[in-house]
Amino acid sequence: MPGNDRLIRALLRQPVDRTPVWIMRQAGRYLPEYRATREKAGDFLTLCKTPELACEVTLQPLERFDLDAAILFSDILTIPDAMGLGLSLVEKQGPQFARTVRSAAEVKALPALDPDTDLGYVMEAIRLIKRELNGRVPLIGFAGSPWTLATYMIEGASSREYSRSKTLLYNEPRTLRHLLDKLSIATRDYLNAQIEAGVDAVMIFDSWAGVLTPQAYRDFSLVSLQNIVDGLVRERDGQRIPVTIFSKGAAHSLGGMANSGCDALGLDWTFELGIARALVGDRVALQGNLDPAILRAESAAIREQVAKVLASFGSGTGHVFNLGHGITPDIDPDHVAAMVDAVHELSPAYHDD
């Protein structure tokens, strides 16, 4: 167990002295040191696939901020990339695939993955990061949800309408389910390999859950998440490995998510933490959910909004402070420091220890 185990304890709803805090995309373009390392790498995918550089950028935020966790520097699209779809990241356009998956035959042709071989660079990065952390804080591993990965594989790029994905869902639900089943197996195996390599907690990012109707979310995305959670290794060396699900825009199904067997749910900024806590009770911890846009404001406003998030959750354990989505590249690092400092100063009042 890391020396600072606040994150793990909070995810498991055990007592903590203050609310732990980390930031989604905390290693990213808002940090000048990250931009320098990325320039050295030449491009984003090289940065992800070079373990020494991935380790370097994973650790950079911890040198600036007193955070309670490191999160593996990687990308949610590593699985479809390893399946041979030809991932590239085009400047100002985002991820694009050379090949798409839109038919039953194309789904059937997708290869099964061996994460230790096909994604071995991720496992090597984890081992390097763990060695460099030396027990300082926990390391979070992650993967994209099957539904979110499927949208990229079907559309071939980022999308606003998800028209091809939704058409497949309604016209050929069996084909989509076959794709989601394949991705569920790959994601389960990938996360288990990360756990074996040394991560202390894992998180599943269901970034595009909010484009589905509540019923479609439950029938297609949530069932896939359940299958993954059911197959995860939950203990290593006598320590529980917490699992967090973050389905952005799917607060309508909090009850179902809480019954999935996960340890925690991430919330975006569009739903009250206090209401979510009342809905899920003591079944799961909650992570979130400061609006990332507040980090463009002055320190006093940041502090005020941090106070409101903490007050919304209320007293007791089971809260991990975070943004309601990833930090954006335009944020001043000093504003991040103001947020972290506010959590440190204000959150002990909500804990007995």
Q: For residue 353, name the pLDDT band (cuts at 50, 70, 90).
A: low
29 catalytic? Reply is: yes
The count of domains in the chain is: 1
Specify if 102 maps to a domain: yes
Specify if 189 maps to a domain: yes
Given 152, 162, 190, 217, the catalytic residue: 152
Tell me whether residue 27 is annotated as binding: yes
Given 29, 35, 127, 218, the catalytic residue: 29
Mean pLDDT of 275-290: 97
35 catalytic? Reply is: no
pLDDT digits (tens, 9 = 90+) for 155-202: 998 888 899 999 999 999 999 999 999 999 999 999 999 999 999 999
Tell me whether residue 109 is annotated as binding: no
Residue 128 sits in a domain whose CATH number is: 3.20.20.210
Quote the domain boundaries for residue 276. Answer: 22-286
6 catalytic? Reply is: no
3-state SS, the chain, equals CCCCCHHHHHHCCCCCCCCCECCCCCCCCCCHHHHHHHHHHCCHHHHHHCHHHHHHHHHHHHHHCCCCCEECCCCCCHHHHHCCCCEEEECCCEEEECCCCCCHHHHHHCCCCCHHHHCHHHHHHHHHHHHHHCCCCCEEEEEECHHHHHHHHHHCECCCCCHHHHHHHHHCHHHHHHHHHHHHHHHHHHHHHHHHHCCCEEEEEECCHHHCCHHHHHHHHHHHHHHHHHCCCCEECCEECCEEEEECCCHHHHHHHHCCCCCEEECCCCCCHHHHHHHHCCCCEEEEEECHHHHHCCHHHHHHHHHHHHHHHCCCCCEEEEECCCCCCCCCHHHHHHHHHHHHHHHHHHCCC
Does the pTM surpass 0.95? The reply is yes
Specify if 152 maps to a domain: yes
Q: Which of 4, 10, 8, 67 is nearest to 351 (CA)?
A: 10
Mean pLDDT of 13-22: 98
Tell me whether residue 350 is annotated as binding: no
Tell me whether residue 325 is annotated as binding: yes
38 catalytic? Reply is: yes
Residue 256 has pLDDT above 80, yes or no: yes
Given 6, 9, 18, 25, the catalytic residue: 25
Mean pLDDT of 314-338: 97
Tell me whether residue 25 is annotated as binding: yes
25 catalytic? Reply is: yes
Specify if 174 maps to a domain: yes
Specify if 297 maps to a domain: no
Specify if 38 maps to a domain: yes
